[in-house]
Amino acid sequence: MRSSQVLIATLKETPADAEIISHQLMLRAGLVRRLASGLYTWLPMGLKVLRKAEAIVRQEMTSAGAQELLMPSIQPAELWQKTGRWNKYGPELLRLKDRHGREFCYGPTHEEVITELVGQEVRSYKQLPITFYQIQTKFRDEIRPRFGLMRAREFLMKDAYSFHLDQESLQQTYDSMFAAYSKIFERMGLNFRPVQADTGSIGGNASHEFHVLASSGEDAIAFSSQSQYAANVELAEALAPRGKRLPAVAKMTNVDTPKKHTIDEVCQYLDIMPAQCIKTILVQGSEEGSVVALVIRGDHEINEVKAEKNPLIAAPLTFCTPEQVTKACGASIGSIGPVGLTIPLLVDRAAANIANFVCGANQNGQHFSGVNWARDLPEPETADLRNVVAGDPSPDGEGVLEIARGIEVGHIFQLGDNYSKKLNANVLAESGKSQILSMGCYGIGVSRVIAATIEQYHDDRGIIWPLALAPFQVVLVPINAHKSIRLRESAEALYQHLLDAGFDILFDDRGQRPGVAFADMDLIGIPHRLILGERGLDNGMVEYKCRADGSESEFSIDDVVVQLRKRLNI
């Protein structure tokens, strides 16, 4: 393609509202433009990239045996009412009415539609298992869209759904989707990790997320230094400490801690480490109006996902109001402790393992020190309530955990029969009886993958596309073509030659000054650059530069196809 025929909408300056690097570079390279909060137009150059990502996804879905279809982006409320999600989904669901006053939503996901469809169209066990996928625009009315395309409201998603008679078949498709996802992200050239994940409100047996590793990632993932174990921190189990609790030597005493509320303040005031304190957090219990105390070590954090799974605790996890706190323990936030509490107490394994600790005294401005379980208060009921931290033992017993940041680009679930039951999706089984289908669902945030890729591959000049996602594989820049008919003709001929040889090539025929052309192409991130100038032409040579490592070389024009193929690894 000729650059004079593609919109090259590069920006010299960084737009003020772009915070993270991928957002800045997508705007600067002219891949996208913002229309409204969380809504973006894909410009031609950006769309080329998006289509390449889509193509990879399509190929791997097809070879994993999934069939492509396309469902409407607008869905009737009725379907969502049947599964109960019309009420449950909350304000993220964009609801709308047509001219007759019928209610619809803009689909944030398509479980309802596909389940309904399969329930109608698939009648016999002989047609199973079956997997469908689509690449469709979704809309989720995020509380706070941010980071450009990373957390946009409208985004492009590949979603696949599989249908089965039994768990074994579901597991098989799940495994092949897992493999297909790995293949997809490998082909894109991404540094990624599959991790065990929480199934969230959807429920189900198994779930994995695929994360692109990047320091700007919104998720924390834990992985073992020695084994294959990897999990979202939301899920990663914090094992009980191996060592025995130290003996209770200190005497429990009441200490004044005026106006010291946070763990940090108390620790500084008493000159102790946060690990010697415990913090007590009051949350709503699962019974209406009840309150439960959660106890963790001072240097740890509550894991909401784990906590709300506890039968005593209300989901979603809700912290108590100041009034409830005062009523339950007689002190306000900052002075709560487990000693003498009459409400149910759940203690994290690590917090249960410390001795001679400091905690709130349930009296404002007072803490206890030298407190010990089984002496000053009963031996506690323990639970896993905290986020794992780096250095914790790996839950599989091998190695210790490390923590990294990740961008979630894919998520696969075993849904079971949650949706099929409610939408009555069943088939006749071999026995002649009708049977509810069991389901899996598999998503990839295609537009997010693009942003994640840029987070991983850029430098101070711009984007450095992995070959598989680059808008063009090669760019040909003629230098000073305006001055020389010979050069113009040679450049045209070379362009045609490379086109015929099957390269995905951009011919920069804009006639810009070399500096401008180079800067634009570096910003856009085309992996391989050929430069044709008078100098080289005299010797029948063309210059080559690699975007990723900056290496330069020169080779004969006659040899250019061979040389490029070598560098493109084809």
Partner RNA sequence: CGGGGCAUGGCGCAGUCUGGUAGCGCACUUCGCUGGGGGUGAAGGGGUCGUAGGUUCGAAUCCUACUGUUCCGACCA
- Check binding of 483 to RNA (CB under 7 A): yes
Residues 157, 221, 302, 377: which binds RNA (CB under 7 A)?
302
Residue 479 touches RNA, criterion: CB under 7 A: yes
Of 51, 58, 95, 146, the one binding RNA by CB under 7 A: 146
DSSP 393: B
DSSP-assigned beta bridge partners for residue 347? 295, 382
* Token pair in block for residue 126: 């002989």
Contact in structure between 396 and 408 (CB atoms under 8 Å): no
Site stretch for RNA (CB under 7 A), options 206-214, 341-349, 427-435, 528-536: 528-536
Among 57, 64, 263, 439, binds RNA (CB under 7 A): 263
How far, in Å, CA of 15 to CA of 81, rounded? Answer: 42
| Least CB distance to RNA at residue 243 (A) | 24
Is residue 518 a contact point for RNA (CB under 7 A)? yes
Residue 557 interacts with RNA (CB under 7 A)? Answer: no
Owner of token pair 């799940």: 174
By C-beta, is 19 or 68 nearer to RNA?
19
Q: Which among 10-18, 71-79, 343-351, 497-505 is the span making contact with RNA, rule CB under 7 A?
A: 10-18
Residue with tokens 């931290």: 389
Burial class of residue 268 in the structure, from the number of CB atoms within 10 Å of its CB (0-12 exposed, 13-18 middle, 19+ buried)? exposed
Torsion of CA 45, 47, 51, 54, to 10 degrees: 130
- Residue 197 interacts with RNA (CB under 7 A): yes or no: no
Among 5, 137, 262, 496, binds RNA (CB under 7 A): 262
How many beta carbons lie within 10 A of that of residue 70, not counting itself?
A: 9
Nearest CB to RNA, comparing residues 90 and 515: 515
Residue 41, interface with RNA (CB under 7 A)? no
**Cα separation of the two ends of the chain:** 20
Q: Is 567 strand, coil or helix?
A: helix
Q: How far is the CB of 130 from RNA (least distance, A)?
A: 39
Q: Is the CB of 320 or the CB of 425 nearer to RNA? A: 320
β-pair partners for 368: 254, 359
Among 113, 423, 523, 560, binds RNA (CB under 7 A): 523
Question: Site for RNA (CB under 7 A): how many residues?
Answer: 63
Query: In this structure, how many other beta carbons lie within 10 angstroms of the beta carbon of residue 181?
Result: 26
Q: Is 23 left (phi over 0), alpha (psi -120 to 50) or beta?
A: alpha
CB nearer to RNA: give 354 or 479. 479
Biggest CA-to-CA distance, the chain = 95
Of 516, 520, 511, 513, whose CA–CA distance to 461 is shortest? 520
| Binding to RNA, residues 124-143 (CB under 7 A) | 143
Sign for the CA dihedral angle at 448, 452, 455, 457 comes to negative
Decide: is 545 part of the binding site for RNA (CB under 7 A).
yes
Site for RNA in 372-391 (CB under 7 A): 387
58, 405, 461, 497: residue in contact with RNA (rule CB under 7 A): 461
Q: Which stretch binds RNA (CB under 7 A): 195-203, 251-259, 341-349, 534-542?
A: 534-542
Q: What residue ranges bind RNA (CB under 7 A)?
A: 10-17, 19, 34, 36-38, 143-147, 261-264, 279-283, 301-304, 319-320, 325, 333-336, 360, 387, 461, 479-480, 482-483, 511-516, 518-520, 522-523, 531, 533-536, 543, 545
